A and B are shown apart, each in its own frame.
Chain A
Amino acid sequence: MFDVIIIGAGVVGCAVARELSRYNAKVLVVEKCEDVCCGTSKANSAIIHAGYDAPRDSLMAELNVRGNEMMEELSKELDFPFKRNGSLVVCLEEEDRPALKELYERGVYNGVKGLRILSRKELLELEPNIQENAVGALYAPSGGIVCPFHMTIALAENAAQNGAEFRFNTMVKKITREEEAWRLETESGSFLSRCIVNAAGVYADTFHNMVSSQKIHITPRKGEYCLFDKTAGSHVTRTVFQVPGKYGKGVLVTPTVHGNLLVGPTATDIENREGTNTTQEGISQLLAKAQTTVKELPLRQVITSFAGLRAHEEGHEFIIGEASGAKNFFDTAGIESPGLSSAPAIGVMAAGMIRDALDLKEKENFIAERKGLLNPAALSLEERRALIREKPEYGNIICRCEMISEGEIIEAVRRPLGARSLDGVKRRTRAGMGRCQSGFCCPKTMEILARELSADMLDITKSGGAARLLVSSVK
């Protein structure tokens, strides 16, 4: 019997798991995919929002601002990349000025610090690649960028360090109430738990509706993105939004924390909860929109495009708390933007509720710090030389574009909750994430995975499940 089972190993599930691992409790995270960070958490804007956008007095606003404030320390504690690069909301039409003003005032009301309205001149001095016809902008210095993979993996690894268990490839089929506990029927066995956390992203309504008569409905809202080569990474320094205007919310243009340029997202409500395909219209639409705020966007430098699904709930508000009529079943549902920014605060809030409900006691030996993967690029030449002398695999470069060595890939596989697939390695090390998009390194990474996992090359997958990369041996 577990004390808590968390459904979903996305950033929210992992944040809750990490916060719960502070207490003496038996915690299990079940995930339908082969790894953490495989759904909404892996395909989004990778932005830590300042908090001016969320409606006044909403949970969204509160948790966004709090999550943003927590990010600096959390990123140090858990060793994942985060940068406070600041956000700009660019206003292109005089007639949209009131909307800009409203954003400013809402931000101040929500408790966002340091907000300023910039004149056209100030804006262009700050970001020379903004279109000349911009009339002004809202500047939020507390806006930031993060690596959502590393953030999620860091939370998960730290939870695991503190005793939380993870089961992957474990899809939940059914949830039923037994006398004092919940029973979870999954693809790989059935589990009993005193408490359940529903952190299932676009599937959160499915699980909520299994146990509660107060139904909710989640709509997958597709967002398509284009990622640009690092050579385009300094096209803008801050995250550049557009004032929501007559053409909708607009798209953002932002550097990523790894130095690429990211443009997106579109917003299309769809039916298919696995519908992460990109579309011709989506991509051309977002590139066109981006060019209304940013000039000379280097379109030839696009290295990949992708789509993610936001878990949009009709009320456009986070649903966090015990589901009605379902004792000890806690939702963290409707976590759409600013979900990534809010995740640390959601983790604290949900864990607090569960602590109170189950009367959990704090551990004495909680380990708050987690060390990330060794990053040779951050070392001095001398340190790197010493590293390779000691561990020659760090001298063998596998991914040429991102300069990732065999040593880093091996570590990614061997870590607790280690990589099991090409995408797993990519999310942890960036091998295959560069301009050639794994053309050169894919055969070599597959070989390392096969060796480290004692698996046959034919069983190595791109992303778990049926995503096998090879079909047979030649002859």
Chain B
Amino acid sequence: MKAYDLVIIGGGPAGLAAAAAARENGIESILILERDRELGGILNQCIHNGFGLHTFQEELTGPEYAGRFIAMVEELGIEYRLHTMVIDISPDKKVIAMSREEGLFEIQAKAVILAMGCRERSRGALNIPGYRPAGVYSAGTAQRLVNMEGYMPGKEVVILGSGDIGLIMARRMTLEGAKVKAVAELMPYSGGLKRNIVQCLDDFGIPLKLSHTVVDIDGRERLKGVTLAKVDEKGKPMPGTEEYYSCDSLLLSVGLIPENELSRGMGVEISQITSGPVVNESLETSIEGVFACGNVLHVHDLVDFVSEEAKAAGRSAASYIKGINKVSDGRVIRLVPEGGVRYIVPSSICLERMENKLTVRFRVGAVYKKAAIAVYYDGKLAARKKRLIMAPGEMEEICLEKERLLKEENLKNIVICIEEEKAQEGMG
């Protein structure tokens, strides 16, 4: 059996950044296992620009952003295997993988970083009624077909879901000569960036139908059309608002789900809310020496933050392998999401193992205008950060400082919540 100090599952942006950080922190023996034909993950099909403003202070396309990290990994001489599928990881970190070239093989790792990314929700998960013809694709599958394989999956398009992938595909299909008839969004607001709404829809006169969903799919062989209907506040279609759109393709951009089948298989505790592993300050899962980062941990909207998070996981794995901070003996502080905050990553902090600064990421459950992010240490207000706007589609973050936390005696809970303006006035 081969042995490596660190095995990284997935060679997308998270895996690459984690690998580079681990090497820079002194880990020599690293192996990245990637199931696709090249490193870079989903970025390879995201040929649009807008990546890397935080990381590189310039605007790159997906392949360019991936290219920089791939070059870094190559320069550092980090080993990787392509076309390699991990089929099992045991709790004692024995990885079973498979490829054409090497067949079925086992690797013993000292530490594992989970960086498998996420997958798209499918039509079935939404229970969209109707027929099941050809021409119904998830937006990401369509993106791969157009941008990497060079094929058009349709000429007359309706898109369900106004997340960024849906918006980007609306523009991409239009530029390649397709007619995008509408983008329907179940929520009363779009989950996508304003910039994408303007530059992907408004630029081309594509209507965005908020509070709408697909209620019927027509066509037995190839898609013939879809019926859109308005939905009420509970998201239920309203009778009488149906409108038929003839189209030959329906692209679904209706959410992403972290791909944690391997994590579950090895017994890692999974959060019901994020569908990703429950992690501590070191991004370590419930299994010691197994770390998670990127979209497998929780779905991100900016790759820059994936890279940042992955670097932290890489550093933590390096410390673990080197035997630093191995035992979590000290106090554990819980991070508790309340009032408007859906989840927080990480969910606990062990002060002894915490780096000087810890970025805590979370999402809100609704759109908040002129509200504040409030942080309480055991019920005592510790910080309040005013925000003009917060939305479920935009990940929020705050920074915790170790020095400050150490001053709190016997701190048990850090609560993060959203306080709207009125509440603030009342408290003032």
Determine whether A and B are in direct contact in the complex, meaning some CB atoms lie less than 8 angstroms apart.
Answer: yes
Q: Which residues of A contact B (CB under 8 A)?
A: 226-227, 231, 274, 276-280, 282-283, 300, 302-306, 381, 384-385, 388-389, 392-393, 395-397, 400-401, 403, 435-440, 442-443, 447, 457-458, 461-475
A396 CA / B176 CA spacing, docked (Å): 32
Shortest Cβ gap from A248 to chain B (Å): 21
Interface flag for B412 (CB, 8 Å): no
**Cβ of B98 < 8 Å from any Cβ of A?**
yes
Residues of B within 8 A of A440 (CB): 119, 141
- Find out whether the CB atom of A280 lies under 8 angstroms from the CB atom of B237: yes
**B134 pairs with A474, CB closer than 8 A:** no
Quick check: A470 and B35 within 8 Å, CB to CB?
no
Q: Of B102, B133, B222, B248, which is in contact with the most chain A CB atoms at under 10 Å from its CB? A: B222
Chain B contacts with A in 48-72, Cβ cutoff 8 A: none
B153 touching A470 by the CB < 8 A rule? yes
Q: How far is the CB of B115 from chain A (nearest CB, A)?
A: 15
Task: Looking at the assembled complex, report how far the CB atom of B63 sits from the nearest CB atom of chain A, in whole angstroms.
Answer: 16
Q: Which of B213-221, B276-284, B286-294, B309-317 contacts A (4 or more CB under 8 A)?
A: B213-221
- 14 A/B residue pairs, CB under 8 Å, sorted by A: A274-B220, A277-B131, A306-B132, A385-B103, A389-B103, A395-B100, A437-B122, A437-B124, A439-B122, A439-B141, A462-B133, A465-B221, A471-B153, A474-B176
Which chain B residues border A279 with CB–CB below 8 Å? 129
Question: In whole Å, how far is A436's beta carbon from the nearest beta carbon of chain B?
Answer: 5
Bound together, the chains give a CA A465 to CA B135 distance in angstroms of 14
Number of B residues with CB within 8 Å of any CB on chain A: 52
How many Å lie between the Cα of A304 and that of B98 in the bound state? 29
Please state if B134 and A461 are interface contacts (CB–CB under 8 Å).
yes
The B interface is mostly helix, strand or loop, or mixed, namely mixed
Q: A226 to chain B: which residues have CB within 8 Å?
A: 127
* A397 and B124 in contact, given A274-B220, A277-B131, A439-B141 (Cβ under 8 angstroms): no
Q: Nearest CB to that of B106 among chain A residues?
A: A381
CB distance from B218 to the nearest CB of A (A): 8
The complex places the Cα of A42 from the Cα of B107 at a distance, in Å, of: 41
Tell whether A474 pairs with B152 under 8 Å between CB atoms, given A277-B130, A277-B217, A282-B129. yes
A residues less than 8 Å from B264 (CB atoms) = 231
Q: Which 7 pairs of residues, A with B, have the shortest CB-CB distance?
A: A304-B124, A462-B134, A437-B122, A388-B103, A467-B221, A397-B85, A392-B100
Determine if B152 and A384 form an interchain contact, defined as CB atoms under 8 angstroms apart.
no
Cβ of A396 and Cβ of B124 under 8 Å apart?
Answer: no
How far apart are A409's CB and chain B's nearest CB, in angstroms? Answer: 14
Asked whether B145 lies within 8 Å of A443 as measured between CB atoms, the reply is yes
Structural contact, B85 and A469, CB atoms closer than 8 A = no
* Contacts A395-B104, A462-B133, A471-B154; A305 near B141 (Cβ below 8 A): no
- Asked if A468 and B222 sit within 8 Å, CB to CB, the answer is yes
A463 to B223, CA, bound (A): 12
Interface of chain B residues 113 through 148 with chain A (CB within 8 A): 119-120, 122-125, 127, 129-135, 137-138, 140-141, 144-146
| Chain A, Cβ-Cβ closest to B248 | A471
**Contact in complex: B222, A466 (CB < 8 Å):** yes
The reply to whether B127 and A470 contact each other, CB–CB distance below 8 Å, is no
Within 8 A of A (CB), among B215-255: 215-217, 220-222, 237, 248-249
A437 to B216, CA, bound (A): 19
Q: Does B155 have its Cβ within 8 Å of any Cβ on chain A?
A: yes
Closest beta carbon of chain B to A49's beta carbon, Å:
26
A-contact 0/1 string along B372-389, CB 8 Å cutoff: 000000000000000000
Partner of A303 from the list B124, B133, B152 (CB cut-off 8 Å) is B124
Interface: B99 (CB within 8 A): yes
A467 neighbours in B (Cβ, 8 Å): 133-134, 221-222
Contact of B361 with A by CB under 8 A: no
Q: Which residues of B contact A471 (CB under 8 A)?
A: 152-155, 248-249
Q: How far is the CB of B249 from chain A (nearest CB, A)?
A: 8
A306-B132, A463-B221 as given contacts; A473 in contact with B152, CB under 8 Å? yes
Nearest B residue to A396, CB-CB:
B100
Q: Which residues of A sit under 8 angstroms from B134, Cβ to Cβ?
A: 461-463, 467-469
Residue of B nearest to A385 (CB): B104
Evaluate contact between B176 and A395: CB separation under 8 angstroms.
Answer: no
Residue of A nearest to B102 (CB): A395
- B329 within 8 Å of A by Cβ? no
Residues of A within 8 A of B119 (CB): 435-436, 439-440
B150 and A473 form a contact (CB under 8 A): yes
- Are B122 and A303 within 8 A (Cβ)? yes
Give the shortest distance, in Å, between B212 (CB) and chain A (any CB): 15
| B366 close to chain A: CB less than 8 A | no
Q: Say if the beta carbon of B87 comes within 8 Å of chain A.
A: yes
B75 at the interface (CB under 8 A from A): no
| B291 CB to nearest A CB, Å | 22
Q: Report yes or no: B138 in contact with A439, Cβ–Cβ below 8 A.
A: yes
Q: What residues of chain B lie closer than 8 Å to A231, measured between beta carbons? A: 264
- Which chain B positions have C-beta within 8 A of A457? 149, 151
- Residues of A near B153 (CB, < 8 A) are 469-471
B149 surroundings in chain A (CB, below 8 A): 443, 447, 457
In the complex, residue of chain A having the shortest beta-carbon distance to the beta carbon of B132: A306
Query: Which residues of chain A are within 8 angstroms of B135 by Cβ–Cβ distance?
Result: 469
Q: Closest Cβ of chain B: how far from A140's Cβ, in Å?
A: 30
CA of A244 to CA of B256, assembled, Å: 40
Selected contact of A439 from candidates B120, B127, B155, B221, CB within 8 Å: B120
Question: Are B129 and A388 in contact (CB-based, < 8 A)?
Answer: no
A241 to B85, CA, bound (A): 39
Q: Which residues of B contact A403 (CB under 8 A)?
A: 85, 87
Interface contacts beyond A305-B129, A465-B221, A474-B146: sample of 9 additional A-B pairs, CB < 8 Å, sorted by A: A274-B220, A389-B103, A400-B85, A403-B85, A436-B122, A436-B138, A439-B141, A466-B222, A474-B150
A475 with B104: CB separation less than 8 A: no
Is B203 part of the contact surface with A, judged by Cβ < 8 Å? no
Nearest CB of chain B from residue A447's CB, rounded to whole Å: 8
With a CB–CB cut-off of 8 A, which chain B residues contact A306? Answer: 132
In whole Å, how far is B94's beta carbon from the nearest beta carbon of chain A? 12
Pair A395/B103 contact, Cβ less than 8 Å: yes
Whose C-beta in chain A lies nearest to the C-beta of B122? A437
If A302-B124, A395-B104 touch, whether A276 touches B176 (CB-CB below 8 Å) is no
B120 to chain A, nearest CB (A): 5
With the chains together, A396 CA to B99 CA distance in Å?
A: 6
B101 interface residue (CB < 8 Å to A): yes
Tell me, rounded to whole Å, the shortest Cβ–Cβ distance linking A161 to chain B: 31
B127 pairs with A283, CB closer than 8 A: yes
- Shortest C-beta distance, B369 to chain A (Å), equals 30
Known: A389-B103, A443-B144. A278 touches B87 (CB 8 A): no
B83 at interface, CB cutoff 8 A: yes
A279, A435, A475 pick with most chain B CB within 10 angstroms: A435
